[in-house]
Amino acid sequence: MTKPVIGVIGNSYTVENRFAAQLVGESNLQAIAELTDALPLMFAGNPKITDIGTLLSIVDGILLTGARANVHPRNFKTEPHVAHEPYDENRDAVALPLIDACVARGIPVFGICRGFQEMNVAAGGSLHPEIRDLPGRINHRMPRLETGEIHPDPAVIFADRHDVQLMPGGTFAKLLGKETIRVNSLHGQGVLQLGERIIAEGVAEDGTIEAIRFKEAQGFALGVQWHAEYDPQVNPINRTLFQAFGEAVRSRKKAAA
């Protein structure tokens, strides 16, 4: 029997300052291959290239990855600002309707960081461009040196930095077998207003929403603000999430056979 296929969204980049490219971090692909026993298949985050209907006729699940670019504020009726660039409007144009289609069809979808934020926006919610600017919030961005440069050590960048309190009896608490977890933190945007179709199942110590699920989804439709793809091979929290995603994808494939 062939392995299930999980589509992984690409991000727009310019290589060598002249070549347009679609890129996916390899850790996302490795997490799928090693933890879900599925084939990761990258697709372009560009509506001129990717047809959603055709894509969903091929894949058994969707992974919405993190990315450097922010979700464009126009998607939640807010004016953009140059300070919050870059944006990737092509990815927005694919990801937002794709999320709705996955939820409607019962196709498993897992959102990480930007993907988590996209899920909230697709459900009618909004984002704050710099969650750390809100009163009482901590700096959720990646660690930097005193010079302002990004810390050179990935172990420091992706280290667990704060606790997340999970909703008692919720999907995440049941999956993980606990109500408090500790996670990494590498984001600027964050949930401002929760989408009406979303349930917040995990909240950081400062009130920042960190784990969500779609209310009406018949299958796996979960999002996390942290980078679960970084270390699921050794991190029991992230491993459990990817394995649960894989189980949902295999069930979907079996049901569609």
Q: Which residues does the annotation mark as catalytic?
A: 113, 227, 229
Longest alpha-carbon distance in the chain = 56
Which of 82, 90, 85, 43 is CA-nearest to residue 64?
A: 43
Pair 25, 45: CB distance under 8 Å? no
Pair 162, 204: CB distance under 8 Å? yes
d(CA 179, CA 166): 5
Strands 109-112 and 221-224: parallel
Which of 69, 75, 23, 35 is CA-nearest to residue 235?
A: 35
Report CA Rg, the chain.
17
The secondary structure of residue 6, as a DSSP letter, is E
Q: Please report where in the chains the tokens 């995603």 appear, as a residue.
A: 245
**130 SS3 class:** coil
Which of 62, 103, 45 is CA-nearest to residue 219?
A: 103
Strands 19-23 and 11-15: antiparallel
